[in-house]
Amino acid sequence: MQLDVAVPDGRVICVNVDSASTSSEMCEMIASNINIKDSFGFSLHITVDQKVSYTKLHDTLLMAVFVHRA
């Protein structure tokens, strides 16, 4: 699936992920897309229905959304 990701400089980039993708993998994809060599220090915050939650680096995206919705 494709997800739109808002980055702090105001851009929105699209990344391809699946339900088994981890937050860490997604951070690496985002860093690569915006030409940053190291994803150290990155974190993901998921927004669903105007609620924001933080994801752990080794959580899968599916688990992060499931926990967020609970």
Per residue in 7-37, pLDDT (tens digit) is 888 999 888 888 788 888 888 888 998 898 8
CATH number of 2-69: 3.10.20.90
What one-character DSSP code corresponds to residue 41?
Answer: T
Where are the chain's structural domains? 2-69
The owner of tokens 């088994």 is 20
Residue 58: what pLDDT?
A: 63
> Is the full-model pTM beyond 0.95?
no
The owner of tokens 């926990």 is 67
Residue 62: what pLDDT?
A: 63
CA nearest to 57, candidates 47, 70, 45: 45
- Measured distance CA(50)–CA(30) in Å, rounded: 22
Question: Residue 4 is inside which H or E element, if any?
Answer: strand 2-6
